[in-house]
Amino acid sequence: MAVMDMTKGSIVRSLVSYTIPLVLGNLFQLAYNVVDSMIAGHFIGAGALAATGMASPVMNILIFGISGICIGAGVLMSNFFGSKDMARLKRELSTLLVSGTLFSIVLTALAIAFTNPLLRLLNVPADLHHDTAVYLRIIFIGVPFTYFYNALSQALKSVGDSKTPLKFLMASSVLNCGLDLFFVGYMGFGITCSAVTTTVAQAASSLLCFAYIYRKVPLLSLRTDELKIDRSLLRTTLSYGTVTALQQSVQPIGKLLIQSCVNTLGTAVIAAYNAVTRIDDFAYTPEQNISHAMTTFIAQNRGAGDRKRAYAGFARGMLIEVIYFIILCAVVYSLKGIIMSLFIDPEKSPLVVEEGVTYLSIMSFFYIFPALTNGVQGFFRGVGKMKITLISTFIQASLRVIFTFILVPYYGIHGICYACVIGWICMLLFEVPCYCIFRSKDLKAAV
């Protein structure tokens, strides 16, 4: 197992070598939905592309909530690993798996039961309601698999192994793509089949991760008698994980509200918004992964009692965020037309492409702001200040939603770009003073 002790060695090398597998892994995870959208748009039509787009924010609320709980638990596991307390590390993993799996099953049942009322609340057009509902219900079935994978992969990441989860995501993404191309592209099956292939791929990634840990990673392997909930650790996990889950869920809830606004603009605009949000997800993911690397680095070093190295890691991480933005902006701006044509045929749906290209022309320059906010979020997660991450995310998401409803009637989906940047700037105005105050007190306490 490729355990990485980030308490020693080159800081930049540790951050980059940890981040790259995270980036690749999450890009493959995003590929689940993107492949569905591309194939739906090209082989089924704009209606199917719009339906998968409207389903996406609903799915993301559950997925990000799940990942938030696992990220919070991952901070604890990173601390235990940094302090060499392997017994508590295993008890934390057991608590995470047992309690979380039960919760995710209940969550799946509730989500399936309330699909139709939710879609009505979101102003989903009548001609798209049925396809969107069927697609969502099948995706919901895969939620327990998604939780199980996130919990196990977070355990591996907490001990520095970010490469192994990547391998399983690559395998499941290739499986998803292959099944979609065959059953939807070649056989001509509809959107229902697209949802089934995504769920099958999610199950595959979780089972592969489970098999690997039990065969290759004794540090994280749990015997049957060890599968129990430690109440003390559960309380601590919930104090970390619940706040992180809320923070992770705030963004997709905001997107859900924004989607309800976009849904009033017609199928062409809905389809364009679906495409550009997929591109946004790909753009944001490396910024978030750099942030996660900073979280693990800071948590491990604080667990080892080395505050100076933890702050040095934060500074290097922020520099990496800025370098990434420069590359991202150049790529998205210069290739915006080609990128949009991947989702829909420009000759068949020119309005969809035109709306998307204009959006990307504006948004590509704004990607600097989530790079900065994600970096600061990574610091606060690493030091265990989860409430600050929740408050700052709530500020950003709420302002983005408010200004979306104000600006979209005048600027269409392009108004969302301006709403986003307002939210990010206000988020930084809250986070930066919090960081300065915390750093001052923390370094004085260490003297």
Q: pLDDT digits over 209-258, tens only?
A: 888 888 888 778 887 878 888 888 888 877 777 777 776 667 777 777 88
Domain presence at residue 18:
yes
pLDDT tens profile 79-123 = 788 778 888 888 888 888 888 888 888 888 988 888 888 888 777
What is the H or E stretch that residue 51 is in?
helix 46-82
Number of independent structural domains in the chain = 1
Q: What is the pLDDT of residue 375?
A: 94
CB atoms within 10 A of CB 326: 12
Domain presence at residue 4:
no
Domain presence at residue 123:
yes
Distances in whole angstroms, Cα of residue 64 to Cα of each of 67, 146, 241, 253, 387 = 5, 10, 12, 10, 17
Q: What is the pLDDT of residue 343?
A: 74
Q: Is the pTM of this model over 0.85?
A: no
Q: Give the mean pLDDT of the chain.
A: 82
Q: What is the pLDDT of residue 318?
A: 95
Domain presence at residue 146:
yes
Q: What is the pLDDT of residue 429?
A: 96
Domain presence at residue 3:
no
Q: What is the pLDDT of residue 334?
A: 92
Point out the residues of the chain with pLDDT beneath 50.
1
Distances in whole angstroms, Cα of residue 184 to Cα of each of 36, 165, 188 = 9, 28, 5
Domain presence at residue 155:
yes
Burial of 242 (0-12, 13-18, 19+ CB in 10 A): middle
Q: What is the pLDDT of residue 7?
A: 77
Q: What is the pLDDT of residue 447?
A: 56
- Where in the sequence is the domain holding 205, given as residue range(s)? 11-446
